[in-house]
């Protein structure tokens, strides 16, 4: 039995959508968690869990595109994930490479733009070249933008942005009065520059925390937690998350009217 055989019944389950199409979140972000536990429950190697998670990502990204989500950001590999076994890290990188090859082949048809958040320098030259090619081709298309967070950490992102701003401030020392920091200016130094903050952040696997994900950008995001492990996450659960999002009043710090 293959990973696809295990997952197919999950994605065949259909339901009547419970959300309003004119009030969709513009930007959804997902912490793809639970691959290892999913594999362990089935007495499979952790690499099989990551393969199952990659298949779920493909399906959810396609679904987001089809229903009209503008931005999808996923937490694929954190700055802390390097602490895992070398075999597991290698398996994740191989899956990423495989996905990028497939994305390049289908990009013309799917019109999906891709962008990468994180410090890519530790990745292999081959993987960095694939990422550069993917981002370059993405500039040609209009449609859903999928942001993959690779070697990403929210604290690391903020620290790098602060250092970059400080360098620019120092280099602009003759005009410091015209070089003031604001939220908008600081946001332009983040990996997510030009991308709106996520309206909805989804965390599968039963964990109730952000785990260093989009710390700056999530200040007013709505959060949705589910006990489903990521490989079992499906369109039905995404519909539930969107429905939950639409039931909430987003005030951004303002008082009730």
CB distance 212 to 244 below 8 Å = no
What global pTM score does this model have?
0.89
Q: Is the pLDDT of residue 1 over 80?
A: no
Res. 144: pLDDT tops 70: yes
Q: Where are the domains of the chain?
A: 22-153+196-246
Catalytic pick from 15, 22, 81, 176? 81
Cβ neighbours around 246 below 10 Å, total: 16
Q: How confident is the model at residue 12 (pLDDT cuts 50, 70, 90)?
A: very low
The pLDDT score that the predictor gives to residue 42 is 96
Give the N- to C-terminal CA distance of the chain in Å, as an integer.
Answer: 56
Each residue's pLDDT tens digit, 156-181: 999 999 999 999 888 876 565 667 88
Share of the chain above pLDDT 90, in %: 76
Are the C-beta atoms of residues 93 and 127 closer than 8 Å to each other? Answer: yes
Indicate if 33 belongs to the active site: yes
* Res 81 pLDDT > 50: yes
Longest alpha-carbon distance in the chain: 67
3-state secondary structure of 74: strand
CA 149 to chain centre: 6
Question: What was the pLDDT predicted at 9?
Answer: 47
Residue 240 is inside which H or E element, if any? helix 235-246
Handedness of CA 193, 195, 201, 203 (dihedral sign): negative
Q: What is the DSSP letter of 31?
A: E
Active-site residue 156, yes or no?
no
| 22-153+196-246: CATH superfamily | Decaprenyl diphosphate synthase-like (3.40.1180.10)
pLDDT at 252: 79
Q: Which of 15, 22, 33, 171 is catalytic?
A: 33
């Amino acid at each position: 039995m293959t990973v696809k055989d295990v997952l197919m019944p999950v994605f065949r389950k259909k339901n009547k959508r419970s959300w309003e199409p004119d009030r969709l979140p513009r930007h959804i972000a997902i912490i793809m968690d639970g691959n290892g536990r999913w594999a362990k429950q089935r007495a499979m190697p952790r690499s099989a869990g990551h393969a199952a998670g990659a298949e779920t990502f493909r399906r959810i990204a396609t679904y987001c595109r089809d229903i009209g989500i503008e931005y999808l950001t996923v937490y694929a590999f954190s700055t802390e994930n390097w602490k895992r076994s070398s075999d597991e890290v290698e398996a994740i990188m191989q899956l990423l490479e495989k996905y990028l090859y497939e994305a390049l082949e289908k990009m013309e048809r799917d019109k999906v733009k891709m962008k990468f958040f994180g410090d890519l320098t530790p990745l292999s030259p081959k993987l960095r070249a694939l990422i550069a090619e993917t981002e370059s081709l993405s500039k040609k298309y209009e449609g859903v933008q999928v942001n993959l967070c690779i070697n990403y950490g929210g604290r690391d992102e903020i620290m790098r942005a602060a250092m970059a701003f400080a360098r620019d401030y120092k280099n602009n020392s003759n005009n410091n009065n015209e070089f003031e920091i604001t939220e908008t200016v600081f946001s332009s130094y983040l990996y997510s520059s030009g991308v709106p903050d996520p309206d909805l952040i989804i965390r599968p696997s039963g964990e109730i925390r952000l785990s260093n994900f989009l710390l700056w950008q999530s200040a007013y995001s709505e959060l949705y937690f589910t006990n489903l492990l990521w490989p079992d996450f499906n369109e039905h659960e995404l519909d539930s998350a969107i429905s939950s999002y639409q039931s909430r009043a987003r005030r951004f710090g303002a008082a009730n009217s």
